[in-house]
Amino acid sequence: MAMQPKYKRILLKLSGEAMAGEKGFGLDFDTVLKVCAAVKECADAGIQMAIVVGGGNFWRGRSSGSMDRTRADHMGMLATTINALGLADALEQLGCDVRVQTAITMNQIAEPYIRNRAMRHLEKGRVVIFGCGTGNPFFSTDTASALRAAEIEADIIFKASMVDGVYDSDPKKNPHAVRFDTLTYLDVLNKDLKVMDSTAATLCRDNGLPILVFDLGDPQNIVRAACGEPVGTIVKP
């Protein structure tokens, strides 16, 4: 049966950890290919797909000890670029047309981030991967997802994570943790729910951007979510 997409343009946020698979560090190409196969399925169904990728499988600026935070964050941006190029290669292997754009110019390996050019790529059916976060230190890749989603006028942010939704407490530590089906941004900010950091959540709220949080353990969840099937937790403005 042909896929029945619910959304026209999706910003998919992939954590660096999701790229690492079971290994927990670096790139696990089997995992990456499975994720990319789901992205291709969406693109083939006519959905415009943009991706923001984290860098935590190589480097986390926040946990860099006594290192200067700005420099640590710059290293993190480079880590996201490694992931962006790995994703691009996997998508190309599957026959996708892909462009990587980075917020810090690296002309030899990627296009610079230019909003109008990104929009043209999407309209032509290309998958666009955004590297380097926002290009600024102190801003997470979650904030970069919110910013890019607002800029490209995405219908929704898909936050594909290692948990199957948003809980009232950590389900790994509390067996009685309760999962939410729907939330508002006010809930997220007031209850300090760990959906994304407050900067990102505020940016989404102010721009009326919904977020769907779901488990990437089964990459087909990306396709299910794109068809509007009930997966994970949706946070609405």
Q: 3-state secondary structure string, 27-83?
A: CCHHHHHHHHHHHHHHHHCCCEEEEEECCCCCCCHHHCCCCCHHHHHHHHHHHHHHH
- 137 neighbors 78 (Cβ within 8 angstroms): no
The whole-angstrom separation of Cα 82 and Cα 109 is: 10
- What is the pTM (predicted TM-score) of this model? 0.95
* φ, ψ dihedrals at 161, nearest 5°: -125, -165
Whose tokens are 């880590």? That residue is: 79
- 227 neighbors 3 (Cβ within 8 angstroms): yes
Domain ranges of the chain: 9-236
The whole-angstrom separation of Cα 53 and Cα 145 is: 8
Per DSSP, helices labelled H in 53-197 are 69-93, 115-123, 141-151, 185-190
Q: pLDDT value at position 190? A: 87
Whose tokens are 């948003």? That residue is: 166
Task: Name all contacts of 176-180 with Cβ < 8 Å and 24+ positions apart.
Answer: 179/233, 180/233
In CATH, the number for domain 9-236 is: 3.40.1160.10
Amino acid, res. 229? E
- 17 neighbors 79 (Cβ within 8 angstroms): no
8-state DSSP, 178: P
C-alpha closest to that of 16 among 200, 161, 165: 161
The whole-angstrom separation of Cα 220 and Cα 123 is: 24
3-state secondary structure of 9: strand
Q: pLDDT value at position 62? A: 67
List the pLDDT tens digit at each of the 237 positions of the chain: 577 999 999 999 999 998 998 888 999 999 999 999 999 999 999 999 999 999 999 997 667 678 999 999 999 999 999 999 999 999 999 999 999 999 999 999 999 999 999 999 999 999 999 999 999 999 999 999 999 999 999 999 999 988 899 998 888 888 899 999 999 988 888 888 888 888 999 999 999 999 999 999 999 999 999 999 999 999 998
Structure tokens at 227: 């068809």
* φ, ψ dihedrals at 116, nearest 5°: -65, -35
* φ, ψ dihedrals at 29, nearest 5°: -70, -25
